[in-house]
Chains A and B, each alone.
Chain A
Amino acid sequence: MTQPSVSIRGLSKAYAIAPKAKIAGVDHGQLGALKSLLAGRPNARATNDVLALQNIDLDVMPGEVLGVIGRNGAGKSTLLKLLARVIDPSAGRVELRGRVASLLELGLGFAPELTLRENIRLYARLSGLGLREAIKAEDRILEFAELTEFRDLALEKCPSGAFIRLAFSAMVNMQADIILADEVLAVGDSAYRHACEERIRNAPITGETILFVSHDMNAIRRICTRVVWIDHGAVRMTGDTGSVVSAYETELLGGALDDEHDANAPCRILDLRLLGDDHAPVGALQMEAPAYIDCAFRLAQPTSAATVEMQLWRGSKLHVLTALCPERFNATRPTTFRTALKIPADFLNEAEYIVKCRVLQRQGPGEPDSIGDEQSLTFQVFNTSPERSVWADWRWGRAGLIAPRLDWSATPAEQTYS
Chain B
Amino acid sequence: MSPPVTVIEARPRSVWARLGALWKQRAFIPFLAREIAMKKFRGTVLGFWWLIVRPLLPTAIAVFVFTQIVPLTTPVPYALFYLCGFLVWNAMAAAVVFMPRTLLWMSGIMRKTYFPRLLIPIAAMGVALIEFLVVAVILLIVIGAYWIGTGDAYVVLDLQTLWLIPAIAIALCLGFAIGMASSVIAVFVRDIVFSMGYFTQAWFFVTPLLYPLTTLPAPMQPYFLALNPMTAPLETARWALFRTGELPAFWLGVSAIETGIILLLSIAFFLRAETRLADAM
Do residues B113 and A93 form an inter-chain contact, with CB atoms below 8 A?
A: no
Comparing B1-9, B77-85, B166-174, the segment that makes contact with chain A is: B1-9
Is A125 part of the binding interface, using a Cβ–Cβ cutoff of 8 Å?
Answer: yes
With the chains together, A43 CA to B111 CA distance in Å? 20
Which residues in window 116-133 of A have CB below 8 A to B?
122, 125-126, 128, 131
Do residues B10 and A34 form an inter-chain contact, with CB atoms below 8 A?
A: no
Which residues in window 1-53 of B have CB below 8 A to A?
2-10, 12, 24-25, 27-28, 31, 34-35, 38
Do residues B272 and A42 form an inter-chain contact, with CB atoms below 8 A?
A: yes
With the chains together, A83 CA to B113 CA distance in Å? 11
Question: Could you count the A-B residue pairs with CB atoms below 8 Å apart for me: how many are there?
Answer: 108
Do residues B31 and A96 form an inter-chain contact, with CB atoms below 8 A?
A: no
Q: Looking at the assembled complex, report how far the CB atom of B130 sits from the nearest CB atom of chain A, in whole angstroms.
A: 18
Is A344 part of the binding interface, using a Cβ–Cβ cutoff of 8 Å?
Answer: no
Do residues B272 and A85 form an inter-chain contact, with CB atoms below 8 A?
A: no
- Give per-residue flags for B239-281: 1 if the beta carbon is below 8 A from chain A beta carbons, else 0: 0000000000000000000000000000000001101101110
Which chain A residues lie closer than 8 Å to B2 at the CB level? Answer: 97
Q: Looking at the assembled complex, report how far the CB atom of A92 sits from the nearest CB atom of chain B, in whole angstroms.
A: 6
The residue in chain B whose Cβ has the minimal distance to the Cβ of A90 is B10
Which chain A residues lie closer than 8 Å to B25 at the CB level? Answer: 126
Is A315 part of the binding interface, using a Cβ–Cβ cutoff of 8 Å?
Answer: no
- Give per-residue flags for B175-201: 1 if the beta carbon is below 8 A from chain A beta carbons, else 0: 000000000010011000000000000
Is A323 part of the binding interface, using a Cβ–Cβ cutoff of 8 Å?
Answer: no
Which chain A residues lie closer than 8 Å to B38 at the CB level? Answer: 113
With the chains together, A84 CA to B113 CA distance in Å? 7
Is B114 part of the binding interface, using a Cβ–Cβ cutoff of 8 Å?
Answer: yes
Comparing A101-109, A155-163, A285-293, the segment that makes contact with chain B is: A101-109
Instruction: Give the B interface residue count (CB, 8 A).
Output: 36
Is A377 part of the binding interface, using a Cβ–Cβ cutoff of 8 Å?
Answer: no
Q: Looking at the assembled complex, report how far the CB atom of A196 sits from the nearest CB atom of chain B, in whole angstroms.
A: 19
With the chains together, A95 CA to B3 CA distance in Å? 12
Is A321 part of the binding interface, using a Cβ–Cβ cutoff of 8 Å?
Answer: no
* A30-B280, A92-B10 given; A86·B114 CB < 8 A: yes
With the chains together, A40 CA to B12 CA distance in Å? 13
The residue in chain B whose Cβ has the minimal distance to the Cβ of A36 is B276
* A28-B189, A93-B8 given; A86·B112 CB < 8 A: yes
Do residues B188 and A111 form an inter-chain contact, with CB atoms below 8 A?
A: no
Is A340 part of the binding interface, using a Cβ–Cβ cutoff of 8 Å?
Answer: no
28 contacts between A and B (CB under 8 A): A33-B280, A34-B188, A42-B272, A42-B275, A43-B10, A43-B12, A85-B8, A86-B111, A86-B114, A88-B8, A89-B9, A93-B7, A93-B10, A94-B9, A95-B5, A95-B7, A96-B5, A96-B6, A96-B7, A96-B8, A102-B113, A105-B111, A109-B108, A109-B112, A111-B35, A122-B28, A122-B31, A126-B27
Chain B: residues with CB nearer than 8 A to chain A?
2-10, 12, 24-25, 27-28, 31, 34-35, 38, 108-115, 185, 188-189, 272-273, 275-276, 278-280
Chain A: residues with CB nearer than 8 A to chain B?
5, 12, 15-16, 28, 30-31, 33-34, 37, 40, 42-43, 82-100, 102, 104-105, 107-109, 111, 113, 122, 125-126, 128, 131, 177
